[in-house]
Structure 1
């Protein structure tokens, strides 16, 4: 009898969950949100529009964020904003990936759903209320370009104002892209009915994040040239498996057991390596620069390896000619190439520094690939098949992430 009850409950839950998503009257191949880079914090800020009347809101992009959260106390009040009950299916969905809340017992129809919005920049967490509202999206498909549509019942969390600490000036919260059932890509995939994918293309100026099929925005020439590697999720973060590291084609003497997972992050501005890995990497990198007659100069915080940019350094369309870094993935044929544009940071007219840092002995991931190394790379997160498609530097293809929204059909929406 108990098993029959549980079976009926499961079917009822799935039915409610299914109907939770049947809220739209349109289908789209892709929707997108423009992203800009904040010069002061080096954070990537997406622009969304939500509420009634629609209000533009800037949110810091966090690949590992489980959902969208924002400060609801400042700015205009939305007439369509509605609190979610602690007994609702949506509350259960929101807490499914929240290990600190999943153990809560029971519910009360008179209480609101509390969740824990997380600031990935500062590491701060606070209690927030789960709400739903209307989200405006820029829809793109083969028949219609630039159609602004409304997503009803979009779930996000209201958070206390102090949680904005550390975010870019003007940002009102976090745009979570993690693998959770109420993250931005999962909600839009379920609501609009397109594939469980999102594509990220960051830039030092203007980039874009899109959900669904990336072809209408990035073009089939780009999307069909991507290399693919298995995508591993831990909690809400995305990881890839790096088998080895090469500098100028020479494999580093890093034991494979030390490479326990490489995390992708949009909240760290630069790649960091666990100290024992960084020690091997930095020694080999300095040796490679010496063979290229690059002149080392005094370190400039937070960087350790800095060089005279006017002596022994040529420039190319891939940025300064510096040692080439390869992250070898499942085979020698599948590697993520990092050239000077994605490795060097110009700190003055005379000095450039390596934008790869020592993450310390306590860093939980062996390597964390940060924002600089992600820029001008098309990154396709296929959540359905757990694969990551990546392009390496688009500069090799004589384009960049800042170009995609400059198309004459799309720039009107920027």
Structure 2
């Protein structure tokens, strides 16, 4: 709910910690009273040290996503909190009075969870402000019962760690989630009030947001430097306990985001918008159906039919994009993965097509883990590189600009930002770098994904 230069929608989204009544258009959660839109500024915080580091983080993310996908058929929970895989942050105001908490926003997971503390007095003396949710400082905190229907939607701890037992009629619901690297988050599955600043300055509240209150957080994925100081995860997946599903009835069961070019200095503000957004770009929105996977309700799958390079259709079998009866394969749109991953056989055809068309020298000492790099030094004219296009189910076409898939790995060196998926049962991923500059609209009620090249500049 978590392949190569990782930027999100797992998805990281950040908001500056603000007062609960002030309204600032750059650093404030804003709800439009007329259009029922929740608008959250997104910021890329910590750039990657090198392209190779990005590949390592993305590969780690894919392994976690794939492992979780096949763990339990009825577990709607996958997380992108690992090895710096998420790169956009969002602030969630939780409790009464509201406490601001910095979370990783991840379209590849469902569960909302935060680091919790039972501290009652002098909490600032033992921990930095807003480093965890102070349960005893909220008047609206409550627990899900062990036998609540909602309790079955989160992974349970083992029997010797407090799992539900028939003899415990009043025991609280506990959750426990382990990551591939041995990291763990566990605690109580609780209910709280979350708050948003409206466009009029009025504080709006949403009651009974279900979330994991984590009292045990350990391991590099969720507590080390790669977690970048976040206090938890905001799951934006399609499952029943995600942030967008829980608030769906209030905001039209849809959300959208624009990921601006993070290489620009200073980086422009990106936005996550919950609700039906009215922008000029929506008139040019293209749509493709969201597909379903028999073993996962979390991921946003789309269908790819064909791939073109410079308007030439590549000889790729359509079957390589299919989801089989075991839930293997398919293509997901993920804000928490940076680069784009496609099946090995498709990747080889794309690679060959670019090599035939581009006759530039390879750089000395090409960057590790990139199969196609060019030395572009001394090119005085405007560099022209082949155009990549994906034909999608529904007769729409996704045509990203060249900068979304050819990246600068060092001075005068450009590399193809695609990677092959070679693992058995692996799926393709359209990463956030490929998504930059587009308005993406996830319409859960209609089960469709919209995208517009012009809408992002208007958000």
- Range into which the TM-score falls when normalised by the shorter chain: 0.7 to 0.9
Identify if the C-alpha distance between structure 1 residues 165 and 76 changes in structure 2 by more than 3 Å, giving closer, same or farther: closer
Quote the residue 1:212 is aligned against: 275
Report the equivalent of 1:233: 292
TM-score in terms of structure 2 length = 0.68
Question: Equivalent residue for 1:328?
Answer: 391
User: How much has 1:168 moved relative to structure 2?
Assistant: 3.8
Residues 42-77 of structure 1 show CA distances to partners (whole Å, capped at 9, x for unaligned) of 622222222233222221121121121121134351
SS at 2:43 equivalent:
strand
What is the deviation of 1:111?
1.5
| CA gap 1:302/1:99 in 2 versus in 1, 3 angstroms | farther
Q: Aligned-residue CA RMSD in angstroms? A: 3.0
Match of 2:441 in 1: 380
User: SS at the partner of 2:304?
Assistant: coil
Going from structure 1 to structure 2, the CA distance change for 1:249 and 1:296 (only over 3 Å counts) comes to farther
The answer for the alignment partner of 2:217 in structure 1 is 161
Number of the residue aligned with 2:192: 133
Give the one of 7, 29, 50 matched to 2:94.
50
* Cα offsets for 1:143-164 (capped at 9, x unmatched): x566541212211112332251
The 3 A distance-change label for structure 1 pair 369 and 70 is same
1:369 has 2:430 as partner: yes
Deviation at 1:362, TM superposition (A): 3.1
Is 1:117–1:157's contact at 8 Å kept on the other side of the alignment?
no
Aligned to 2:141: 81
CA distance in 2, matches of 1:210, 1:123: 34
Q: CA 1:87 to 1:329, structure 2 compared with 1: closer, same or farther past 3 Å?
A: same
**TM-aligned CA deviation for residue 286 of structure 1:** 1.7
- Give the secondary-structure state (helix, strand or coil) at the position aligned to 1:341: helix
Do 1:117 and 1:128's aligned partners in 2 also have CA atoms closer than 8 Å? no
Contact (CA 8 Å) 2:320, 2:343: kept in 1 or not? no
> Alignment partner for residue 34 of structure 1, among 41, 54, 70?
41
Post-superposition Cα deviations, 1:139-185, rounded to whole Å, max 9, x if no partner, equal 4xxxx566541212211112332251464411111111111122111
Partner of 2:73: none
Q: Aligned residue for 1:271?
A: 340
| 1:111 matched residue in structure 2 | 171
Runs (4+) off by over 6 Å:
none
Q: Is the 8 A contact 1:200 1:209 kept in 2?
A: yes
Name whichever of 45-54 and 268-277 sits farther off.
45-54
Do structure 1's residue 303 and structure 2's residue 370 form an aligned pair?
A: yes
CA distance in 1, matches of 2:377, 2:113: 45
- Superposed, 1:239-278 pairs within 5 Å as 239-260=301-322, 261-278=330-347
Tell me how far apart the structure 2 counterparts of residues 156 and 259 of structure 1 sit (CA, whole Å).
Answer: 34
Partner in structure 1 of residue 259 of structure 2 = 202
Unpaired runs of at least 5, structure 1: 1-25, 405-414
1:280 and 1:267 mapped to 2: Cα distance? 26
1:342 aligns with 2:397: no
1:174 equivalent in structure 2:
233
Residue 125 of structure 1 deviates from its aligned partner by 5.5
Please list the CA deviations of residues 354-397 of structure 1 after superposition, one character each: whole Å capped at 9, or x if unmatched. Answer: 111123233611x2111101122111111111011011x44xx7
Q: Distance in 1 between matches of 2:146 and 2:380?
A: 60
SS for the counterpart of 1:243 is: strand
**CA deviation map 1:257-292 (0-9, x unaligned):** 1122211112211001222221222111222223xx
State the number of aligned residues: 349
TM-score scaled by length of structure 1: 0.75
Work out whether residues 135 and 152 of structure 1, in 8 Å CA contact, stay in contact via their aligned partners in 2: yes
- In the other structure, the counterpart of 1:187 is 246
Q: Which moved more, 1:108-117 or 1:204-213?
A: 108-117
Aligned-pair distance for 1:28?
5.7
Q: Give the structure with the higher percent helix.
A: 1
**1:199 CA displacement:** 0.9
Match of 1:60 among 89, 99, 104: 104
Looking at structure 1, the residues matched to 157 and 378 of structure 2 have their Cα atoms a distance apart, in angstroms, of 54
Q: 8 Å contact 1:33–1:137 — kept in the other structure? A: no
